[in-house]
Structure 1
């Protein structure tokens, strides 16, 4: 089956407006010419730039979704030099780290285009730029510069929140619904990553949940996306970005919390793929495959099949996921073989991340979900595959050693796989090397914080090994589940459940972790 091809959105031809406001001229849309600010702009949260003679704006052209941001936005968009500086830091540094190998088009192109015309987006870009500079330690901890950056990030995010009220009010307007919905969803994505950057994982989860509710409401009322929407990011792309973060949430939150979510966007139709055109396309497929496998395993754990029909459906789904994995492995290596030599170094970390996830998916498919009591012991026979995962992680980490300071990215990464290696592999050499990479990386990948993950793994190892020698850990002493409840900023309630606890349906050991 051929992969689904993305259909490029085309804007219909519209005659140039001659007497409207400057903003509508740039967007090439009909202006209602309301004074002093037109409703076409204010109803969607934009700043109306007022009116001027046609000759003064005749050369203005709208941003292209497929073009570079160029020299950046006009300095007139910023109230202070501090805002301009933080926007510049986002544009020159943060967006490239956030985009990584897979989401660069959103972070380094589309969101910068949106920031020029949508104030709510622009304020968030400035907020992330300020927070990211502080995160990377460019300003001394506790210094005036650090405090100023923190204050600016807080002020800018609050201004964006205030503008969001107008966006939600405009969402009920049919003419603007697609554009406004895109604006709201983009803000949800930016708010979520800003919260992650600040260590407020609980807040990030709330933003993702809010965005998914807006998306679900939109999809119930609109069968197709409006092709005339001027927002630079499409609904389908924003859906993918929100689903990406939600997939991380599904790895972390406990069963009770999962049951309160009204919508499960990570479950989708998955079929074998023949080829990949780009590494971004490969990432989307592998991430979707991982999400579908995660949902499949979690559902089977909570609702094990008992009847012959249920077992048949389980077997068929397991076979489908295995076929999809095999096809993805072949398509990825075919894409890798077609690379231009000049792009080898640039693309190799992304290819290794996808190979890493292929190996992770292979492991999870080989552990029989119908025998949950022996799940932890089953990982012992997969030590070679876990060691292969570690090798991929080392290659990825080594490729990033030239970067200074901690880094923060979106999309699939290596923090969660390192947790899997350290938590599931009982070979002391392998698991300690994985822990070492976690604790030294200073890495965040969306909700996955290497420092937090490393502390959880450290406790897991200590609790397992205090009951046994390093070489042999009895099955019942192994940590089977770690349940996380995020509390205040950089604080979480962690519950460690051994195999023995799970068999006896005991609560396990709990403690509060700060990082």
Structure 2
């Protein structure tokens, strides 16, 4: 009100000029924006210090740096001559640099998933937090031993880095000196180390540790993760859960709490393919949890399907319908992106997105087969899904062709993203059509590492399993080729166990695969024999050279 009265009084020109002469003028400070600054500083219209790979101004302010434009190389800042970040020796810098190339960077040294955990978050925290840097060095050491064709068991240097990272993580966790997202990321990196060595149980332990860190309240912690950070980590936890769980399709623990997820409409998924891929990952996660709960009842008699258990039947119907709905959305997306890919406006990003969509289609189709067969203890039940098996092979072939068009980096022998190895392996494992099984096995031999699975190991298992099942099979008619129906139920393998690879006395990689058959056969014992115990199974170990 006082300001309003002042404005209404008449002014004296002379007195105004005298006051202006006695009062110094206020100068406006103009901060020039850098044309080469990070995306976050440009958006905020402030001057960027242009530190690479991440702006130090953003780091000090606690903001997530958006990185730099596509014309800048990320790798130049990841080299040992870093001007910011935690102190580290040259070996640690070299190994963390290797970890960045394997986990975060494409063949052009740019982040693979800019907005994901392995994009800006990983690059920022790796150069800012000691436990994350140590975990990255441990992953780099394990990866280097694999690149050098070292033994599958970690040599002493890799173990030393792993032990140091584990001790650093434990220290910062006990002292609560690091923010939760840093501790969770370090735990996920150590899970990746165990995935690289195919020690899945240890990977699960680190994975569950990351979940507990993010969901537990730490009263003395330096700060709680923001909603955006939690959402990003939650998506990555779902990805890793699917990556590990897809190895056997029923390994995902139901005790994992990953928070609520927002529903995404079909229109939104069609406009943004990344939303469709996220929805597919969440659908897989939920489907694996149902498969795990239903698989415990597989060999009971009568089954929940025959008893018309409404809860189990409705749950099965719901997850199958959800998978089919997202599969239809992905089919529409692949048709749209394929048209763009055929035009001159296609970009590398479109190619990678289309390949990911084909991968998710194959993953969802495999899951639908398992969902429809989860109540059936007989392996012959998979014979009804030949067309779905064929579509898995087609989608896997399409994804392979697209990814061959993009130049692969020298270190891309490992991926944290679900791929086509597991779907092709399921075809070789459960599809008894000889030509299609042989095709899937041949395609597996051309694949590398995807999470805990190795394409060459899976191909060798499929080839040996096919030989065991068809050794005593006879064609239904003389002179006719062997068909799926000619492989009798008693000859079919019902399960397998795969320990980590070892080296034989000649230095060759060997996997001692254990195949399993029910005893007595289901046709004789189902309803009379308890197949939940080990005594009701026949185990046969087969050493397979890779």
Residue 487 of structure 2 is aligned with which of 440, 453, 473?
473
After TM superposition, give the deviation of residue 389 of structure 1 in Å. Answer: 0.8
Q: Give me the whole-angstrom Cα distance separating, in 2, the residues matched to 1:306 and 1:95.
A: 45
1:192, 1:201 → 2: CA distance?
Answer: 9
Larger Rg over CA atoms: 2
Taking the aligned partners of 2:61 and 2:262, their CA distance within structure 1 comes to 40
Could you say which residue in structure 2 is the equivalent of 1:182? 181
Distance 1:410 1:215 in 2: 20
The residue matched to 1:316 in structure 2 has which SS?
Answer: helix
- Kept in 1, the 8 Å contact 2:104–2:113? The answer is no
Matches within 5 A, 1:314-463: 314-336=312-334, 337=336, 341-342=346-347, 343-367=349-373, 369-370=374-375, 372-374=376-378, 376-401=379-404, 402-403=407-408, 407-441=413-447, 443-463=448-468
Q: Conserved in 2, the CA contact under 8 Å of 1:127 and 1:152?
A: no
Tell me the C-alpha RMSD between the 2 structures: 4.3
Instruction: Mark the CA change 1:235 to 1:508 in structure 2 (over 3 Å): closer, same or farther.
Output: farther
State the Cα deviation string for residues 141-186 of structure 1 (Å, max 9, x = none): 69xxx99x96654443333222223322234xxxx7xx63322221
Distance in 1, Cα, partners of 2:226 & 2:100: 19
CA deviation map 1:328-375 (0-9, x unaligned): 1343345453767334323221121122123223433443x34x233x
Cα distance change on mapping 1:467 and 1:308 into 2, 3 Å = closer
1:75 to 69, 82, 89: 82
The aligned counterpart of 1:57 is none
| Equivalent position of 1:169 in the other structure | 174
Counterpart for residue 96 of structure 1 = 105
**1:198 paired residue number:** 197
What's the secondary structure of 2:446's corresponding residue?
helix
Query: How far is 1:213 from its partner?
Result: 4.3
Report the number of matched residues.
Answer: 438
Change (3 A) 1:106 1:432: same
Aligned to 2:124: 113
- 2:230 is aligned to 235
Instruction: Give the whole-Å Cα distance in 2 for the aligned partners of 1:237 and 1:386.
Output: 33
Q: Which has the higher contact order (CA 8 A, sep 6+)?
A: 1
Report the TM-score when normalising by structure 1: 0.71
Q: 2:516 aligns with which of 489, 497, 501?
A: 497
Measure the CA separation in 2 of the matches of 1:364 and 1:330.
18
Q: Distance in 2 between matches of 1:440 and 1:478?
A: 26
Q: 1:349 to 1:265 in 2, by over 3 A?
A: same
- 1:511 is aligned to 541
Higher helix share: 1
Structure 1, unaligned runs of 5 or more: 1-12, 14-24, 29-59
**C-alpha distance in structure 2 between counterparts of 1:189 and 1:484, whole Å:** 23
Shift of residue 280, structure 1, vs aligned partner: 3.5
1:359–1:385 contact (8 Å) kept in structure 2: yes
